[in-house]
């Protein structure tokens, strides 16, 4: 069993999912609808904050603990520069995806190219700080809140954080259940409460997902191995 999870604004189009991938069920979360307006899919996020992180976590909370074997979290657009498949097209990415590999691994970033995000995208304790790196400069604060970590623990565990960009990934249902629902509630509540701007908190989450789902802080798989094992190419 499998499902595609995405969030969309009313102005965005996700018709390609049902049209191009009819064998994939989907959970399409509408973002930013007025409270009085029903969601066409029956699904909605509580607010428009934190970019894709809000629909991703809302799906997890809405469906815990009854997940399919594989949950794919993606952006709503069919084509984008950061999709490194043929024609930068998510259809090919999902058509080639080996679900058995996802279930075996528990978590898989859907981007194989590690030219963006690796080898050292986030350095939470960079000294001196680089004021242009807003997400890096708040990463440790968010990590401490998420994982109840001390500064000493973080200096040991996350001196560097890196993975392929761009917040599109697949997770097994079993991996999702390795964290209690309360963890996901804490993550989403932070997003609801934070005064960080969307760009900053969205980028923090982009480099937090792999840690949430059990990977080391630096998770930069060889791109050829990724293509072979995850997509059979």
pLDDT tens digits for range 91-104:
999 999 999 999 99
Tokens of 130: 């680089």
Q: How far is CA 16 from CA 13, 79, 111, 151, in A?
A: 8, 10, 20, 45
Tokens of 212: 């949430």
pLDDT, tens only, 43-53:
999 999 999 99
Q: Within the chain, how many helices (H) and strands (E) appear?
A: 11, 7
pLDDT classification of 79: cutoffs 50, 70, 90: confident
User: Mind listing the domains of the chain with CATH numbers?
Assistant: 2-115+165-231 (3.90.550)
């Amino acid at each position: 069993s499998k499902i595609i999870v995405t969030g969309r604004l009313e102005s965005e189009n996700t018709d390609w999912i049902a049209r191009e991938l009819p064998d994939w069920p989907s959970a399409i979360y509408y973002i930013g609808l007025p409270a009085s307006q029903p969601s066409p899919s029956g699904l909605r996020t509580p607010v428009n904050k934190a970019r894709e992180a809000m629909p991703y976590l809302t799906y997890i909370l809405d469906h815990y603990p009854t997940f399919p074997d594989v949950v794919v979290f993606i952006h709503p657009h069919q084509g984008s520069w950061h999709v490194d498949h043929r024609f930068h097209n998510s259809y090919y990415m999902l058509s080639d995806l080996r679900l058995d590999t996802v279930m075996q691994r528990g978590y898989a970033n859907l981007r194989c190219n590690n030219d963006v995000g690796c080898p050292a995208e986030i350095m939470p304790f960079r000294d001196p700080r680089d004021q242009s790196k807003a997400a890096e400069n708040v990463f440790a604060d968010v990590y401490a809140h998420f994982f109840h970590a001390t500064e000493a623990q973080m200096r040991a565990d996350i001196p560097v954080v890196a993975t392929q960009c761009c917040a599109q990934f697949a997770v097994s249902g079993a991996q999702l259940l390795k964290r209690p629902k309360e963890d996901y509630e804490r993550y989403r509540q932070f997003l609801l409460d934070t005064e960080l701007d969307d760009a900053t908190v969205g980028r923090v989450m982009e480099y937090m997902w792999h840690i949430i789902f059990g990977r080391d802080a630096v998770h930069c798989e060889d791109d050829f191995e990724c293509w072979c094992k995850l997509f059979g190419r």
